[in-house]
Amino acid sequence: MSINRRQFLKIAGISTVLGVGGAPVINWLRNDCLEASHVLTDEKALTGKHWAMVIDMSKFETEEDYRRVIQACHSIHNVPNFDNPKDSIKWIWADTYEHTFPGQENEYIPEEVRHKPFLLLCNHCENPPCVRVCPTKATFKRKDGIVMMDQHRCIGCRFCMAACPFGARSFNYKDPRPFIKEENKEYPTRTIGVVEKCTFCFERLSKGLIPACVEESQKAAKEAGKEPGMFFGDLEDPSSEVRKVLGTRYSIRRKPELGTQPSVFYIIGGGKNA
């Protein structure tokens, strides 16, 4: 049978496509999962429909108050510490009122508010633009409201960083491991080329613990004999702490006009007239 070059190339091409394409089909047809095994959620896990956080800024007075909370998060999550601000990675950090609520500032606010650093973190928005733009669903919204990161899937396109109106996301521009002071062996690090941010301590929630920052701030408050400055709970549970606080104190959120519906609420002033 004589065959010319063109026919040969056509046959070779189609065979290659069938061969390469056939492999995943066969894989898919193979039953790789064991029949009797299955996956459950831990009984101890905290469950909720809409996790939220309330930060009462009047309870944060000294630098130490902030440092403890930030340190609690960054240490257990192996967040690296870069000298160069360009590469910086932060899950929770402090900044001024003017920077936290740009557009809200005016010349006449109380000095103590103007100079007080505010705690910032991912707002775990109800309507998150970062989730909308992610091309691989590496960042996605869980049923309990947490905007989650799957660092296995992230391709490092940084579209989510462009989309986030709150600057809550960081990118691993370098290998983070040399810059981690002390590794927490029970939690992974990240690797170069992926985006990371606060995840509302999803791994602690699955063990029945509240986020580390909230726990630390409540511990500090107890030690100092003060009222706690951070609350965490389920907004859909009318008896939760967060609902009680939000129902009695006036709260604001960052950039509400954008419609992202943040789940982190701030109580600015202290005292009865806040």
Partner 1 sequence: MKLYDGGKIITGLIIFLGLVAFPFFYNIGKANVRPDPKIDTPAIKELKEKKCVESKEFMRAEHMKLLNNWRDSAVRDGSRLYVNTEGKAYTISLQNTCMHCHSNKKKFCDECHTYMAVNPYCWNCHIAPKEKET
Partner 2 sequence: MLEKALVGSRRYWTWIFFLSAIVGIGFINYLYQFKHGLGITGMSRDVSWGLYIGQFTFLVGVAASAVMLVIPYYLHDFKKFGKIVILGEFLAVASVTMCISFIFVDLGQPMRVLNVLLHPTPNSILFWDMIVLSGYLFLNIVIGWVTLSSDRKGIKPPSWIKPLIYLSIPWAFSIHTVTAFLYAGLPGRHFWLSAIMAARFLASAFAGGPALLIILALIVRKLTKFDTGREPIQAVGKIVTYAMIANVFFLGLEFFTAFYSQIPGHTHPFKYLYTGLEGHGRLVPLMWTSTILAVVSLVLLVVPQWRSSEGILPFACSALFVSLWIDKGFGLVVGGFIPNPFEGVTEYWPTLRETSIALGVWALGFLVLSLLYKIAISVREETEGIEIEH
Give the nearer residue to partner 1 in terms of CB position, either 3 or 34: 34
Partners of 119 in beta bridges = 94
Q: Alpha carbon 230 to chain centroid distance?
A: 17
Alpha carbons within 13 A on the beta-carbon side of 57: 25
**Which entry of partner 1, partner 2, none binds 60, CB below 5 to 8 A by partner kind?**
none
Q: Give min distance, CB of 221 to partner 2, in A.
A: 27
Tell whether residue 272 is a contact of partner 2 (CB under 8 A): no
Binding window for partner 2 (CB under 8 A); candidates: 7-15, 27-35, 107-115, 173-181: 173-181
Query: What's the CA gap between 65 and 246, in Å, rounded?
Result: 22
Judged by CB under 8 A, the number of residues near partner 2 is: 47
Show the tokens assigned to 205.
């929630």
Kindly write out the interface string for residues 105-144 of this chain, putting x where it contacts partner 1 by CB under 8 A and - elsewhere: -----------------------------------x-xxx
Tell whether residue 136 is a contact of partner 2 (CB under 8 A): yes
Kindly write out the interface string for residues 102-121 of this chain, putting x where it contacts partner 2 by CB under 8 A and - elsewhere: xx------------------
Query: What is the DSSP annotation of 131-185?
Result: HHH-TT-SEEE-TTS-EEE-TTT-----HHHHH-TT---EE--S-SGGG-SS--T
Q: Give min distance, CB of 192 to partner 2, in A.
A: 4
Q: Give min distance, CB of 78 to partner 2, in A.
A: 17
Taking CB under 8 A as the criterion, the residue among 5, 6, 21, 41 binding partner 1 is: 41
Pairing of the two strands 51-56 and 230-234: antiparallel
Tell whether residue 190 is a contact of partner 1 (CB under 8 A): yes
CA–CA distances in Å: residue 122 to residues 56, 64, 110, 114, 217: 16, 21, 27, 22, 17
DSSP 237: -
Tell whether residue 169 is a contact of partner 1 (CB under 8 A): no
Q: Alpha carbon 214 to chain centroid distance?
A: 14
Q: Is the dihedral of CA 70, 74, 76, 77 positive or negative?
A: positive
Interface with partner 2 in residues 184-243 (CB under 8 A): 192-195
**Which entry of partner 1, partner 2, none binds 8, CB below 5 to 8 A by partner kind?**
none
Tell whether residue 189 is a contact of partner 1 (CB under 8 A): yes
Tell whether residue 148 is a contact of partner 1 (CB under 8 A): yes
**Which entry of partner 1, partner 2, none binds 219, CB below 5 to 8 A by partner kind?**
none
CB within 8 Å of 141: residues ≥ 6 apart? 128, 131, 147, 148
Contact 265, 246 (CB under 8 A): yes
State the residues that interact with partner 2 by CB under 8 A.
Answer: 85-89, 95, 98-100, 102-103, 129, 132-138, 153-159, 161-167, 170-175, 192-195, 255, 258-260
State the residues that interact with partner 1 by CB under 8 A.
Answer: 32-42, 45, 78, 140, 142-144, 148, 150-152, 183, 185-191, 202, 206
